[in-house]
Amino acid sequence: MDTKKQENSIIEISKNLLIGLKTTIKTFFNKPVTFQYPRERLEIAERFRAFPKLNVNKDGSLRCVACFLCQTVCPPAAIKIKSGYVDYGDEHELTERQKHNHSLDKLAHNNTFNDGRRHPSSFDIDLLRCICCGYCEEICPEEAISMGSNYEVAFYTRDEGIYGIEKLIESR
Amino acid sequence: MIFWLIAEIIKILIVFAGLLAAAAYLTLLERKVAAKIQNRMGPMEAGFHGLLQPIADGIKLFFKEDIIPADADKILFLLAPIIVVIPALTTFAVIPFGAPVKILGHTVPLQITNVNIGILFILALSSLGIYGVVLGGWASNSKYSLLGGIRTAAQMISYEIPLVLSIIGVIMIAGDLSLSKIVSEQSHIWFIVYQPVGFIIYLIASTAEMNRVPFDLGEAEGELVAGFHTEYSSMEFAFYFIGEYAQIVVNSAIIVTLFLGGWQGPFLPSVLWFLIKLFFVVLIYLWLRWTYPRLRYDELMDFGWKFLLPLALANIIVTGFIMILMNK
């Protein structure tokens, strides 16, 4: 039979029209796939990973030791670290080992005594540059940086996109 | 006499307010049905599940700037939306929406006026709506509006013929042009059983008559921006909108009266039966709209003249033959 004729037969056309109606009545009773975004959030998978975050010890101190490995490995150069020393206050006595560490002499001048452990005085990740590759998490020897599940980042200026230590700890 | 006057005025007010409210809430229903069919949620912000959305839309349109194009024919431009709304609302005057009720010893028919040529009245008024569209398209002084108006005029004239012919089967069986008589004739069996083809032709032709998808050639947004109401804004646009949705309600009411037994039904009050049937017919219109894509113009004309018109004529002949054979 001529296919063109078959396509144009009234029976064929009305059959196709009914198929269309059947499809829409089926989708009518489906659950909507959309949701009210700002009030309802997408349920992300447990292992979903997006932007990096900083981890802390149980006492709330940073795990990061400012080794600069992540800054070095970061492909888009999104991480900027400035290193400093942990400050334990005036009363703190230097340990035997620290007394032999002459690199601390200068710091003792300003009445700050340190145990010699480095920590980041500032740790910035530019989320506008970050490509979420996970190299920083992979290379970190202290498990101080890891990929979090925060994917909703929005800001008014580019500067707000640079997250400091506090924001990175708070982020999920 | 005074009782009759008061009852009549109250009926008119109820029907008028009810029609306007129905037209407003039909916009919400349409958006909700569209959303459900497309697996979305539709309006959810204004009120519980968007129940106040039509009111919010109305307020918004009311405060919009009223723009009239520089070279537009001002009088016709303002008149056109009104010409669309008035016939749509007036048509409901002859539709019986409930069984007669007894108030203070008087029998009040739930129908604004029982004209003995009810169907002719409906057909005459529903074809007046076309003037609003054509005048609006012409008065806007815009090529899109003009093209939309011309297209709509040709389309409405083509589909009016099968629309009228599809009703004739019902008139033949009922033997009367009065709508209340047609409803009472359906007390045993609905006319959709005798006239399934007539029902389908009326459904399709009225969809085309109302300029709705898949026959919305007059406002094809892909080609004509918005067709005949391209230049309209603010309340004039709202009037076109109200007219369009009031027409859906009225056409559904006509279908219920002619084919689905009007207000007749067991157990529940007659007005409620009428509203339930009305609601389901409206749902059919919405369902059709969100299923089919728009027809091409030549397809539209072919379908109207080469398919619907012969089918409507054949329906009349077959109905007549069967009536003679059954000696009715």
Q: Mind listing the pLDDT tens digit for each residue in B183-213?
A: 888 888 888 888 888 899 999 888 888 888 7
Q: Is B36 on the interface with A (CB under 8 A)?
A: yes
User: What is the residue whose two structure tokens read 């506090």?
Assistant: A166
Q: Is B20 on the interface with A (CB under 8 A)?
A: no
How large a percentage of chain B has pLDDT more than 70? 100
Task: Classify A102 as helix, strand or coil.
Answer: helix
Q: What is the mean pLDDT of chain B?
A: 85
What is the per-residue pLDDT across A52-79, written as a single tens digit (0 to 9) for each? 988 888 777 788 888 889 899 999 999 9
Give bridge partners of residue B81 from the DSSP assignment. none
CB B125 within 8 A of CB B132: no
Q: Is B44 on the interface with A (CB under 8 A)?
A: yes
Rounded Cα distance, A112 and A91, in Å: 9
pLDDT tops 60 at residue A2? no
Rounded Cα distance, B144 and B228, in Å: 7
Q: What is the pLDDT of residue A103?
A: 64
Answer yes or no: do A25 and B287 touch at CB < 8 A: yes
Q: What is the pLDDT of residue A75?
A: 92
Q: Which helix (H) or strand (E) holds A145?
A: strand A145-147
- For residue A27, the chain B residues in CB contact (below 8 A) are 36-39
3-state SS record for B195-241: CHHHHHHHHHHHHHHCCCCCCCHHHCHHHHCCHHHCCCCHHHHHHHH
For B50, the token pair is: 């968007």
What is the 3-state composition of chain B as percent helix, strand, coil, each rounded to the nearest 5?
70, 5, 25
Answer yes or no: do B39 and A34 touch at CB < 8 A: yes
What is the per-residue pLDDT across B46-74, written as a single tens digit (0 to 9) for each? 878 888 888 888 888 888 888 888 888 88
What is the per-residue pLDDT across B3-20, written as a single tens digit (0 to 9) for each? 888 888 888 888 888 888
Q: What is the pLDDT of residue B48?
A: 84
How far is the alpha carbon of B292 from chain A, nearest alpha carbon, in Å?
Answer: 7
Question: Residue A79, Cβ neighbours under 10 Å: how many?
Answer: 22
- For residue B200, the chain A residues in CB contact (below 8 A) are none
Q: What is the pLDDT of residue A109?
A: 53
pLDDT tops 60 at residue A13? yes
Please state whether the peptide bond connecting residue A141 to the residue before it is cis, i.e. omega within 30 degrees of 0. no
User: Nearest CA to B62 among B106, B24, B89, B15?
Assistant: B24
User: Nearest CA to B232 among B139, B165, B159?
Assistant: B139
DSSP string, chain A: --HHHHHHSHHHHHHHHHHHHHHHHHHHTSPPS---TTTS-----TT---SEEE-B-TTS-B------HHHHH-TT--EEEEEEEEE--TTPPPPHHHHT-GGGHHHHHTT--EEEEEEEEEEEEETTT-----HHHHH-TTS-EEE-S------SSSGGGEE-HHHHHH--
- For residue A10, the chain B residues in CB contact (below 8 A) are 307
Which residue did the predictor score with more confidence, B39 or A5?
Answer: B39
Q: What is the pLDDT of residue A7?
A: 64
C-alpha distance from residue B111 to each of A120, A167, B88, B260 (Å): 84, 70, 16, 17
B98 confidence band (pLDDT: 50, 70, 90) = confident
Q: What is the pLDDT of residue B317?
A: 92
- For helices B143-174 and B309-325, the axis angle rounded to 10 degrees is 10
Answer yes or no: do B39 and A27 touch at CB < 8 A: yes
Which residue did the predictor score with more confidence, A40 or A94?
Answer: A40
What is the per-residue pLDDT across A104-151, written as a single tens digit (0 to 9) for each? 666 555 545 555 667 888 889 998 999 989 899 999 888 889 898 888
Q: Is B39 on the interface with A (CB under 8 A)?
A: yes
Answer yes or no: do A20 and B44 touch at CB < 8 A: no
**Dihedral sign of CA atoms A136, A140, A143, A144 in order:** negative
Domain ranges of chain B: 2-39+66-325
Q: What angle do CA B29, B34, B35 make, to 5 degrees?
A: 100
How far is the alpha carbon of B215 from chain A, nearest alpha carbon, in Å?
Answer: 15
Lowest mean pLDDT among A80-84, A114-118, B274-278: A114-118
How far is the alpha carbon of A30 from chain B, nearest alpha carbon, in Å?
Answer: 7
Class of domain A52-170: alpha beta
Q: Is B321 on the interface with A (CB under 8 A)?
A: no
pTM higher than 0.80, yes or no? no
Answer yes or no: do B36 and A28 touch at CB < 8 A: yes
**Dihedral sign of CA atoms A61, A63, A66, A68 in order:** negative
Q: Is B196 on the interface with A (CB under 8 A)?
A: no
pLDDT tops 70 at residue B139? yes
For A48, the token pair is: 């979903």
Q: Model ipTM?
A: 0.72
What value does the mean pLDDT take over residues B78-107? 83
| Chain A residue closest in CA terms to B41 | A32
B122 confidence band (pLDDT: 50, 70, 90) = confident
Rounded Cα distance, B161 and A69, in Å: 82
| Chain B residue closest in CA terms to A19 | B291
What is the per-residue pLDDT across B166-186, written as a single tens digit (0 to 9) for each? 888 888 888 888 888 888 888
Q: Which helix (H) or strand (E) holds B139?
A: helix B129-139
Q: How many residues does chain B have?
A: 328
What are the phi and psi torsion angles at B47 (to 5°)? Answer: 75, 180
pLDDT tops 60 at residue A90? no
